Amino acid sequence: MGLTHTFSRDRFDAVLFDLDGVLTPTAVVHSRCWKQMFDEFLTQWSGKHSIPFQPFESQSDYPTYVDGKPRYDGVQSFLESRGIQLPHGDPSAEPGMGSICALGNRKEALFHEMLDAQGVEPYPTSVIVVKELRRLGFKTGVVSSSKNCRAVLKAARIEDLFDIRVDGIMAAERGLAGKPAPDTFMEGARGLGVPVKRAVVVEDAISGVQAGSAGGFGLVIGIARRGDAAALKKNGADIVVSDLGELL
């Protein structure tokens, strides 16, 4: 395929990357944390309401309801899929089970515990691609729903490879809707001074390729790390690869 064939300087000026699952393998850590948190909650909920326990399914529930979305949106989306209603609560709530925010904060606490214990290494081929794109004159940015984005970039030692970072903290401060809305990607393009048609989106989440497609970006690349190439294509990816190294 060839990098300069896919990322033509005649057509594009910037490339916007999702973080988890695209630049770093932290999507796997997130998935484990979501499962632990939801299974703890669902065990408690099933006992309280005398219904069978149905665990959180990493292979189906995570990509469908949670992956790529802001944390509290992911909690609400999954609970709604099970017909469970909880109060939204306050973002400052202690990690727990009593509200959407408390559950989201419990997941956040688990993520920090795993990140501190395991650290994070970026995908080597992703780093090669980003460096090569910068050498070719592209502007590069990270667009992530995570409020841990900067911490992960620093832990992976790749923070200096990007001209802009649009993360969960910035989205909350500026009132930007999360993926699958295109707002955060559009903010990234705006911050780089690039029209959306001249920008590329690289995503591994269904909600992410939906956001790139909805925003009218010039090219949306999906990374099918979970064997979900068909779903990514169906939801807006123009090109689907299993690893960015395939574009080299």
Q: Which tens digits make up the pLDDT trace of 203-220? A: 999 999 999 999 999 999
pLDDT in tens, 93-136: 999 999 999 999 999 999 989 888 888 899 999 999 999 999 99
| DSSP letter string, 118-164 | H-----HHHHHHHHHHHHTT-EEEEE-S-TTHHHHHHHHT-GGG-SE
Asked about 61 being catalytic, the answer comes back as: no
| Confidence tier at 26 by pLDDT (50, 70, 90) | confident
Catalytic-role residue among 20, 67, 167, 228 = 20
Asked about 18 being catalytic, the answer comes back as: yes
Which residue's entry shows tokens 């005649």? 10
How far apart are the C-alpha atoms of 77 and 9, rounded to whole Å?
39
Which residue's entry shows tokens 């630049």? 23
Catalytic-role residue among 10, 13, 18, 61 = 18
Percent of the chain residues past pLDDT 70, beyond the cut: 100
Q: How many residues does the chain have?
A: 248
pLDDT in tens, 155-213: 899 999 999 999 999 999 999 999 999 999 999 999 999 999 999 999 999 999 999 99
Is 3.40.50.1000 the CATH classification of the domain at 3-25+121-247?
yes
How far apart are the C-alpha atoms of 38 and 166, rounded to whole Å?
27
